[in-house]
Amino acid sequence: MIKEVSAEAKGRVNLIGEHTDYNGGWVLPTAIPQGTKVNLSARDDMEVHATTGMSFSKAESALKYTIGKESPTKSWIDYIQGATKILLAAGHPVRGFNIHVESTVPVGSGLSSSAALEVSLLKALREMFSLKLTEIEIAKIGQQIENEFVGAKVGIMDQMACALANFGEALFLDTKKMEFERIRIPTEKMDLVVINSGVEHQHAGGDYNQRRSECEQACEKLFIRELREFGIEDLPKLKELPDKLMRRARHVITENERVHQAVAAIRSGDMDKLGQLFYESHASMRDDYEVSIAPIDLLVELCRQQPASYGARLTGGGFGGSIVAITHKGKGSEVANAVAQAYFEKSKVKATILVPAPQ
């Protein structure tokens, strides 16, 4: 056992492929500069003492619990409790430790603040206790923490992205087969923009889990296991569904198709096509999946009004959070600043530009 270790995981922005991962579909995330770092020091007992900087949590900054007696508290320490509970149940030899967490990923921004914490924590525990865990196994445990301990029925995308995504590359991930390919982003042709709306979301809330339930209901009525089994050619079959379930399923099926088209557009350097797919994805999330909100729609529309913007869309689970946009090369900061200024004038809410990093 190592006495002191530290580990870091970057946040992620999903370029396209939203709410497809828990339907066995395809996603296309990439890493962002903001990340989460954990520092661990070993203890001689089974207690975990956790502290964090205010940049990560507005709740209690110092909490503790005993390994083997984990119990959900609805605070940020539940991600740590979930990790030790799952590792212990799987036979991994974990003991007490002190942990300090610092993060520059805004909480509730749709940029995987929770996944970045889970992955950085699990990487640190792997080193401290010499655990035999691969990056993919770490991602799966992170998802298990969310699903079984925190209560958010998220898919695997966030954890896989935080564990494996690199700057300047998109992680083209088949969440059913757990196969992935790294696709180079043509940064010589475009700038990436990420803007946090200032409206927090919360995955453990009922709306996110309800969408997953609606997809499962649609599958039951369509006699399939997962919506990934249907392609664009199967859309006429959705007319048998109730309207709400039809629209939920239509979003997932068309979004899977958009991911594949986006990969082709990136490979060919067709930024106009990629931008069009962004706008189509946002419209589908707004109208069919109903996970967007007025401030997010405003940010996307303000991007649309910028001549140097190729496209923009809600990124992440929705109900708040951030948008992702692509612009002409060298115009990212200019577009982001103009959009943030207009957003404040119209909403009186201050948006935060995360990418490109403010100069």
Residues forming a β-bridge with 19: none
- pLDDT per residue as tens digits for the range 75-134: 899 999 999 999 999 999 999 999 999 999 988 888 889 999 999 999 999 999 999 999
**What secondary structure does DSSP assign to 112-169, as a single string?**
-HHHHHHHHHHHHHHHHTT----HHHHHHHHHHIIIIII-----SHHHHHHHH--TTE
At residue 117, the pLDDT reads 96
pTM metric for this prediction: 0.93
| Cβ 290 vs Cβ 250: under 8 Å | no
Annotated catalytic residues are 158
Reduce the DSSP state of residue 19 to 3 states and report it.
coil
323-350 burial, b at 16+ Cβ within 10 Å, e below that, comes to bbbbbbeebbbbbbebbbebbeeebeee
Q: Cα 43 to chain center, whole Å?
A: 32
Alpha-carbon gap, residue 111 to 88, rounded angstroms? 29
- pLDDT per residue as tens digits for the range 237-283: 999 999 999 999 999 999 999 999 999 999 999 999 999 999 999 99
Q: pLDDT tier at 203 (50, 70, 90 boundaries)?
A: low
| Cβ 72 vs Cβ 157: under 8 Å | no
| Cβ 97 vs Cβ 41: under 8 Å | yes
* The Cα angle at residue 263 between residues 271 and 231, in degrees rounded to 5: 120
DSSP state of 237: G
Q: pLDDT tier at 201 (50, 70, 90 boundaries)?
A: confident
Can you read off the two tokens belonging to residue 336? 């982001």
Rounded to whole angstroms, the maximal C-alpha distance in the chain is 62
Q: pLDDT tier at 232 (50, 70, 90 boundaries)?
A: very high
- pLDDT per residue as tens digits for the range 17-61: 999 999 999 999 999 999 999 999 999 999 999 999 855 444 566
**Regarding beta strands 179-184 and 190-196, do their DSSP bridges make them parallel or antiparallel, or are they unpaired?**
unpaired
